[in-house]
Amino acid sequence: SQTIHQWPATLVQPVGSPLSLECTVEGTSNPNLYWYRQAAGRGLQLLFYSVGIGQISSEVPQNLSASRPQDRQFILSSKKLLLSDSGFYLCAWRASGAAGELFFGEGSRLTVL
Amino acid sequence: GNSVTQMEGPVTLSEEAFLTINCTYTATGYPSLFWYVQYPGEGLQLLLKATKADDKGSNKGFEATYRKETTSFHLEKGSVQVSDSAVYFCALSGRYSSASKIIFGSGTRLSIRP
């Protein structure tokens, strides 16, 4: 069966520090991968999605970036965090070429101080 | 472009009350429709889905019917429990793009009083 994991689960970082959140999927190949952010009390904002290795689409301009170095690995990064980057980050996958549901990871809560 | 509008919360009900959370959508073609649930501190889980008009998705006592004529996918449950307290998201997905994005509503927080 397919599983998705993301880490770390909780992160407290100072303003200006770098960020790396990692997500891996097991049990499937060539998935579409997604990063969402959920700010406190708000809905889900799609940040990035990827349909293949090295292929990244950005939905909103910001100081975050994403990379997909391997088929089932998706990384969210920042060189310098801002206070506004605080939130709950969710990685998700869905089968390639399908219009089915997304499967979400457990989430990573980032607090920037 | 595609969009989802759902009932704003928070919604507070007593245990065993009837629940409706409204969701309407705008989309070209025939999207798939979903309801996701998020329990405190967790990621989102699929609650139910419907892929074509008049389909009814159901799970854990929750139901939603894909109404193309009213572009709606309202979530209902006949008798809610305290354990149903969570945030509920309506979502849609375009059908024909391999990289089609799932568009989420803003979420509705539901609190059930014992």
**Rounded Cα distance, A70 and A50, in Å:** 11
Look at the block and give the residue holding tokens 């292929």. A55
Chain segment B16-34, per-residue pLDDT in tens:
999 999 999 998 888 899 9
Q: Which of A46, A98, A106 sits opposite B101 (nearest CB)?
A: A46
Cβ contacts of B95 on chain A, cutoff 8 Å: 99
| Interchain contact, A43 vs B95, CB within 8 Å | no
Taking 90 as the threshold, does the pLDDT of residue A97 lie above it?
no
Taking 50 as the threshold, does the pLDDT of residue A104 lie above it?
yes
Q: Which residue of A has its CA nearest to B104?
A: A44
pLDDT value for A35: 94
Taking 50 as the threshold, does the pLDDT of residue B98 lie above it?
no
Partner A contacted by B83 (CB < 8 A): no
**Rounded Cα distance, B26 and A101, in Å:** 18
Q: Which of A98, A99, A106 sits opposite B42 (nearest CB)?
A: A106
Query: CA distances (Å), B84 to each of B26, B76, B79, B105, in order?
Result: 28, 12, 10, 19
Question: Looking at this protein, which amino acid is placed at residue A26?
Answer: E
Give which of A23, A102, A106, A109 to mutate to test B binding, by max B Cβ within 10 Å.
Answer: A102
Chain segment A33-56, per-residue pLDDT in tens:
999 998 776 788 889 999 899 999
| Interchain contact, A43 vs B43, CB within 8 Å | no
pLDDT value for B33: 93
Chain segment A56-82, per-residue pLDDT in tens:
998 886 789 999 999 999 999 999 999
* Number of DSSP helices (H) and strands (E) in chain B, helices first: 0, 12
Chain segment B48-93, per-residue pLDDT in tens:
999 999 999 999 999 999 999 999 999 999 999 999 999 999 999 8
Of B57, B62, B58, B73, which Cα lies nearest the Cα of B18? B62
Contact assessment for residue B91 and residue B106, using Cβ atoms and an 8 Å cutoff:
no
**Rounded Cα distance, A50 and A54, in Å:** 8
Q: Which residue of A has its CA nearest to B49?
A: A101
**Rounded Cα distance, A12 and A112, in Å:** 6
